[in-house]
Amino acid sequence: MELAALPQRLTVDLARTAVVVVDMQNDFCAPDGWLASSGVDVSAAAAPAAALERALPRLRGSGVPVVWLNWGNRPDRANLPPGVRHVYDPDGASTGIGDPLPNGSHVLELGSWSAAVVDGLTVDPGDLHVAKYRMSGFWDTPLDSVLRNLRVDTLLFAGVNVDQCVLATLVDAACLGYDVVLVEDLCGTTSPEFCTEATVYNVRQCFGFTTTSAELLAGLPA
């Protein structure tokens, strides 16, 4: 596939490509999820869902595997170091990882509503699911093994937050030798706009390439 991208045009082998969708889950994107319950406006996090719903069926139809990489912790939180737990509950008195929400779910817990893909996105039975426990999806998870077994070496990145978990996973992927492409409008963030601008700049400058879903769909076989 010929793909318009920045900083330069790409030729992508679809047989060796996968799309990694990061953290498009209820706790980050739903109006009654964890972030929203703590007062965060999650509309920007939910925004990529419509474009993803258009793009993913076309990618699947071209043989590109879809990997849902969602934050999903052990219920006992035994694998989480203190530093990770502190980031999400800095005063020790807020609603942190594993704590109950008003809706009865537990924050970012594997198998719970909190870790499930947000409504509005269709999950295909052939899609793959990997749970992560850090900003990066490569630490302490089978993500690298799954991708190696798929025989892919090019990764299309989507999801939230683009400046946090998406970027951390993309950087680790680049360091592991994958070719990485950030699909800008398939990503979102609740951070200020300058965080997105810095992320896009650094991806183009240091790690890989950026494109849009329009360019991606235009390049796919009919």
- N residues, the chain: 222
Q: Within the chain, which residues score under 50 in pLDDT?
A: none
Domain of 82, CATH number, reads 3.40.50.850
d(CA 119, CA 99): 22
Domain that holds residue 126: 2-219
> How many structural domains are present in the chain?
1
The confidence score (pLDDT) of residue 5 equals 98
The confidence score (pLDDT) of residue 218 equals 97
Q: What is the DSSP string of 58-107?
A: HHHHTT--EEEEEE-B-TT-TT--HHHHHHTSTTSSS--TTPBPTTS-BT
Residues designated as active site? 23, 132, 165
Longest CA–CA separation in the chain, Å = 53
State residue 145 phi and psi, 5-degree precision: -60, -45
The confidence score (pLDDT) of residue 94 equals 86
The confidence score (pLDDT) of residue 140 equals 94
